[in-house]
Structures are given as C-alpha cells and as structure tokens.
Amino acid sequence: MALRRRTLLAGGLAAGAGLTSGCAGKPLDTLLTQAAHVPRTPATLVWWVSEIPSRNGPVVADLIIRAFERRHPHLRVRKSNALSTTDGNRAAVTTQLAGASPTPDVYLGDTTWPAQFGANSLALPVQTLLPKDFWSDYPAALRRVSEYRGAVYALPFFTDNSFLFYRKDLLAKHGLPVPRTWEELLRTARRIQRAGDAAYGFLWQASVSESLTCNVTEFLADAQAPVLDEAGRVALSGPGAERAFALMREFTETGVTPRTVTTYAEADSQDAFTGGRGVFLRNWSYAWGNAADRSVSKVAGRVGVVPRPGFDGDGPRGVSCAGGWSNFVNPNSPHLGAAVAFARFCAGEEAQMILLKHAGVIPALDDVLTRPEARRVGDPTLTRAKELRLVARPVQTPYYPQVSKALYTQANAVTGGRATPAQAVRAARADIRTALEGRAL
C-alpha cells in the first residue's frame, strides 16, 4: 500500500484555478451551491475505487455502498474498478478529469494528490461544505495533506501508518529490550547479527521511488528537520538534515542494513523479514497481517510491533509518515450534492466502523480506534495507531512529484555510499528549489 509518484499532473491548467473558478464553464459558487444539497430525486454515482484489503472475506467497498444506500434509498453507487497501481490510477483518473468527464463522481486517491488536483481544477474544494469542527475528529496531519492554499480537496478515508516490527524471540534470547532510539537499535541489531542469529539487522525501503521519500520524511522528522517551511519554500539544511542522512548511511556502512536496500520497496523488505532474515523491519501497518500469517511467514507468532524509535535526546519518537487514501469529488459531476454526501459518509462513523471490522487498513477517524471492536480484531497496529506522531510529506505544492524525486534521488545516493550526508543534503536542497520553480530536474 505504499505510494508511488513519478510525474506532475498532465495539462496546463493554472495553479490555484480550482479556488476561484468552476469547471465546465460553471462558476465555483454555482458548483458549491449544488454540492451543498443532497438531491431528493434518484441518482446513480460512480465511485472510482481500488480494492480495499479485507481482513475476513467481504468486499469492503460493497459493504460501504450498501450502508450508504440504506441511508439514502433514492441514491445508488456503482463501482468503477481502479487500476492496481497508484501511479496507474493517478494517470488514468487525471486523463478522464482533464477531459471534463462527468464520471467518476467520487474517486479514491492518494493523500499526496490534493495540491496537484486542486491546482489543476480536478477536485472540488469542499471546505465550505464541512462543519467547522470536522477536522477535530481526525489526525492533524490528515488535514494538512488534504489542503492546498487554504482549501480542502479531499475527505479522509483510511490511513497507512508505519511501525517498527521486531523479532520478539531474538530480543528475548539476548535479553535485550525493544529499542527506543536509533542508536540503541544499531547496537542491538549488530549484537544479534554477530551472534549469527540473523543476516540483517534492520530492513527498510531505499529504492529510487516514493517508498524512500516516505522513509526520508520520517528520518528528517526524527531529527526535527523540515523539508519545506510554512510558506512552501525549501527549508532542508543544517545539522538535523545531515543527521538524518547520516543515519541512513550508517545503516549500510555498518552492515546492519544490506546494501541491496537501495533497491528495496515494501514487498522486498517484508519478504526478507517474514523469511526470517531480519531482526527489525520498518513497514506499513498492513505488514502485520503478512508477518502473522502462518501460511506465508516463517516468523509468525514471534513478531512484535511498536511505533518507530527516535534519535538519542529529546526529539520525537513514534513518527510515522501520513500515508493513506482519501475521497475526492469530481467538479464535473452532475450529482455534486450526492457525491459530497457519499464522500462524507465514507469519512463518517458508520463507514469507518466497517473499515475497522472488515478491512485490513487503519480507519482515519480517531474515535473508532479506541472502541472495544479495535481490540477484538487482534491487530496491534490498530490499537497503537493513536500513539503515532503523524507527519506529512512536503505535499503543499503542485510540484510535489519533483520534490519527492529530489529527496529520494539524493537519499538513495547517500544510502548507497555515492555521496556524503552533507553533499546529499546540499544537492537535495538545490533540486527541491528547482522543483518548486516548476522546472524539470
């Protein structure tokens, strides 16, 4: 469920156009007036949705659709099956929306999309359609990634959060506690490796891809080093940024992480861990289900999960990149009121409880994670999600794909030993500045 971004949205629409004008020739005020009222006449919505992982068999999207239709008997929702990859989804839905297609009415998209889609008038700004206290029920990071220039372009659905997975049996054998800092993790991993009990100490994702941007975002947040400032200008610099890059270099230099990590995406690191070759794994919450599945995991029953460590000192711990999926409303939909109602329903308690009980994902709504049902599921990533400190990637720019490329390219270089931490930070800073100007890297 990791997120992949490569290129900026196609099309030459002006940045910020969605805030001041409508689509298909209609003023934005007219669109918002239509969107503010659920129609009383029959209508059928098309929901562009990829497969939602299921924990116990039922098709989760169908359960949510049926629950919505019970609430609104005159409305119907038809699924339009999205593609299997995030980049493929982005490209396909962008092509449809840029051509002013009236469908899909609602589409499920990545939490990195709002600035790009909002700037290009491909998503309806919905902030005036929400109650003032709407965001108080969700992690603050979800609001930040859903906004662009003060407008909200996405409604939360579910999150992808990262955790540290570890071998309980190996720590117990050596009488070692679960590390609370990266420095402690390095020492623990090396001790277990030297004893011959594991080939790899720490597995993570450092391929030239969005997977690495997620990891870098977390390491930089651990070191309290922002990528962009509040105004959206490049801020990456200084000892904190170099400390984060130096840690990535240290993992491979010491052999705690294999040098092949520079080619690892989520599945690669997960396969090595479930195959019994690693002590620690950084991965998304869904990795718990795979690690605990005795049919595919050699370490099932011997795995624990905790929030990520932090650096020695008084910096943050439990940082997680704010990943996940949200619903967007197509401004060209002929059923704007119904589309907004459905997107809000997916963010609301009934749909979120369906996700909790049946989906192998973490619901976006904070409150449901504290319900007794969350404990009964038996997935520790659900019950520990509230402990996380969610941080947003630098998505407050329509040029985010280029910013991401600047980060993952230089982070891959330093992890692979082709650049020093200081060199990588300087190069990433220069490339991010270029990206923010809308120029190709």
Find, among 375, 377, 424, 433, the residue nearest to 402 by Cα: 433
Write down the residue that tokens 């003032």 correspond to.
132
The identity of residue 106, as a single letter, is V
425 Cβ neighbours under 8 A, 6+ residues apart = 236, 237, 241, 242, 245, 410
| Beta bridge mates, 159 | 324, 362
Would you kindly state where each structural domain of the chain is located, as residue ranges?
29-160+322-388, 161-320+393-437
CATH of 161-320+393-437, one of 3.90.380.10, 3.40.190.10, 1.10.3720.10, 3.30.360.10: 3.40.190.10
Domains 29-160+322-388 and 161-320+393-437 in one fold: yes
Q: How many helices (H) and strands (E) does the chain have?
A: 18, 14
Distance CA 164, CA 46 (A): 38
Write down the residue that tokens 């934005």 correspond to.
28
Residue 1: per-residue pLDDT: 39
Classify residue 76 by its DSSP letter. Answer: E
Residue 68: per-residue pLDDT: 98
Helix axes 238-253, 210-222, angle to 10 degrees: 120
Tens of pLDDT, residues 388-429: 999 999 999 999 999 999 999 999 999 999 999 999 999 999
Q: Give the C-alpha distances (Å, rounded to integers) separating 58 from 54, 62, 64, 274, 355.
A: 7, 8, 11, 26, 11
Residue 24: per-residue pLDDT: 54
Distance CA 219, CA 109 (A): 25
Distance CA 59, CA 98 (A): 30
Q: Please list, residue by residue across 125-140, b when 16 or more beta carbons sit within 10 angstroms of its beta carbon and e when fewer do.
A: bbbebeeeebbebbbe
Residue 301: per-residue pLDDT: 97
The CATH number that domain 29-160+322-388 falls under is 3.40.190.10
Residue 25: per-residue pLDDT: 65
| The two structure tokens encoding residue 206 | 């450092």
Helix, coil or strand: residue 435: helix
Distance CA 66, CA 322 (A): 29
- E strand residue ranges, 264-308: 278-284, 303-306
Distance CA 184, CA 181 (A): 5
250: burial class by Cβ within 10 Å (0-12, 13-18, 19+)? middle
Cβ–Cβ under 8 Å, residues 269 and 283: yes
pTM of the predicted protein model: 0.91
Residue 4: per-residue pLDDT: 31
323-329 and 151-152 beta bridge pairing: unpaired
Residue 149: per-residue pLDDT: 94
Q: Give the C-alpha distances (Å, rounded to integers) separating 64 from 49, 60, 67, 68, 176.
A: 12, 6, 5, 6, 44
Residue 23: per-residue pLDDT: 55
Residues of the chain under the 50 pLDDT cut: 1-22
